[in-house]
Amino acid sequence: MSEQPVFFFDCDNCLYATRTLRERYFLDYGLSLRGLIKHHQIDAVEYDKQVDGTLPLEDVLKPDPELRDMIHGLKIRKWVFTNAYLPHAERCLKIMGLSDEFEGITYANYKDPDFDCKPELASFKRAMKEAGISDPSLCYLVDDSGANIDAAKALGWTTVHVADDPATSNHGDYQIDDIHSLHKVLPDLWK
């Protein structure tokens, strides 16, 4: 049986939009938490429980029927690929009414002190393995991080950058300003 394509969706700042105050560590390490661990010996699991786990997401995230319909109409396998810890990703998907739209979630395993995360090559290889796909040409990624998009594109994935200004973005194969426009740049995947 031949492999089926997989579309990987970033979660934070992509399936929904927020801006982080921890920009420096994010830029330096690909994930703000990685900088906190490296420089401040933060326990990642405890951090997730005390910070991400207590964020009032219900106040800022709502079900998005338009997004759900767009994702539901995608005719290939769908997978979440996030640098968040699993409880946070599951919580976001549940609040947005998207939990049942994805086959699985590849997440940063905060229990492992040396966890990998995007844009590290090991993270992309792990996502492919967890999704059961070995051919990078059958992988798609939508993400708001230029570094993540660049890493995926270098591996041979088809990439869509959700950029603040798509006209000035030089990341990826396609650039959009909102996840709701995804079907417009790859319409064949929705037919």
Q: Which helix (H) or strand (E) holds 72?
A: helix 65-73
Parent domain of 95: 6-190
On whether residue 31 sits in a domain, the answer given is yes
Residue 122 has pLDDT above 90, yes or no: yes
Q: What is the pLDDT of residues 123-165, one digit of tens each?
A: 999 999 999 999 999 999 999 999 999 999 999 999 999 998 9
Answer yes or no: pTM beyond 0.75: yes
On whether residue 66 sits in a domain, the answer given is yes
Q: How many Å apart are CA 24 and CA 28, to the nearest integer?
A: 6
Q: What is the pLDDT of residue 43?
A: 57
On whether residue 81 sits in a domain, the answer given is yes
Q: What is the pLDDT of residue 26?
A: 46
Q: Domain of 121: which CATH number?
A: 3.40.50.1000
Q: Mean pLDDT, to the nearest integer, of 172-181?
A: 96
Q: What is the pLDDT of residues 47-70, one digit of tens each?
A: 656 555 555 567 667 899 999 999
Confidence of residue 40 (pLDDT cuts 50, 70, 90): very low
Amino acid, single-letter form, for residue 97: G
Q: What is the pLDDT of residues 86-117, one digit of tens each?
A: 988 998 899 999 999 999 999 999 888 889 99
On whether residue 1 sits in a domain, the answer given is no
Q: What is the pLDDT of residue 29?
A: 45
Distances (CA, A) of 87 to 18, 82, 153: 18, 11, 28
**Domain tally, the chain:** 1
Enter the DSSP assignment of 106: E
